[in-house]
Amino acid sequence: MKKKIIVANWKLNGSIKSISYFLSFLKSKIPLYSRKNIIIIAPPTVFLERVYKNIRNTNVFLSAQNIDVNINGAFTGENSVLMMKDIGVQYVILGHSERRLFHYENDEIITKKFGLVKKLNLVPILCIGETEIEKKSNQTKKILKKQLKSILTVFGETAFRNTIIAYEPIWAIGTGVSANPDDVQLIHQFIKNYIKKYDTISAEKLIVQYGGSVNSLNAENFLKKVDIDGLLVGSASLKHEEFLKIIEISDNILQKK
């Protein structure tokens, strides 16, 4: 049975107090839920080690929200993938639309970072997605292909093995308006078929999760779909009970399979 991957992207939120509370709650429940799901937490960099100390030896894993394009050197204010690995990080979110928009990251920068993450045997969580204008002008597939192609061109047909692709339509992020699960299912199928044109990997081994205004009320409709392999959860992952509910929903769905 394919595990569902549920990622909490805390973005620029949290404090020592709120994180301690969240983790002690999660730790008391996690042995039950982490057998079927893969649960990953992506806190702000400054809290990574604190989270790691709490989740070590559990089935919850640690993700960075970003890394620099350099491994080390005179780059004031940055953090490298090497440092991330050193403190227990196993996954790295790349290409998030907030980084593309507010930090001017383009496909070239994202591709460089993708290479660094792969080189150190960590798992990239590569975010791709279209804007509202692109959706309305029927360009979703074209945009997704372009974003995937920039990785394929550099790293070859097996680039997406051991990678999580997160389909995050930009218009659905932080808006309270999630995408339609039927549409997402078709887009995930499209993404998998596109990659399979290059790679001989079975579709079963490709991982594509959805992100954008996911909460405990709509999670089931996404997770029930055969090609939605998990969720990348933003604001709902900040509330411990809400996040746990989403994991519980995933658990129930897997139970029925």
Beta carbon nearer to ligand 13P, 157 or 248:
248
Given 98, 134, 168, 188, which residue is catalytic? Answer: 168
- Residues in contact with ligand 13P by CB under 6 A are 9, 96, 168, 173-174, 211-214, 232-236
Closest by CA to 90, choosing from 66, 110, 63, is 63
For residue 168, indicate whether it is catalytic.
yes
* Minimum gap (Å) between residue 43 Cβ and ligand 13P: 13
What is the maximum alpha-carbon separation in the chain? 53
Query: H or E segment at 191?
Result: helix 181-196
Beta carbon nearer to ligand 13P, 159 or 231:
231
Beta carbon nearer to ligand 13P, 185 or 216:
216
Residue 128 identity: I
For residue 96, indicate whether it is catalytic.
yes
Give me the residue whose beta carbon is nearest to ligand 13P: 234
* Minimum gap (Å) between residue 100 Cβ and ligand 13P: 12
The answer to whether 170 touches 140, Cβ cutoff 8 Å, is no
8 vs 236: CA distance, rounded Å = 8
* Minimum gap (Å) between residue 29 Cβ and ligand 13P: 21
* Minimum gap (Å) between residue 197 Cβ and ligand 13P: 27
163 vs 6: CA distance, rounded Å = 14
Q: For residue 68, what are the CA distances in angstroms to 30, 75, 91, 153, 212?
A: 32, 9, 14, 21, 25
Beta carbon nearer to ligand 13P, 53 or 245:
245
Active site residues: 96, 168
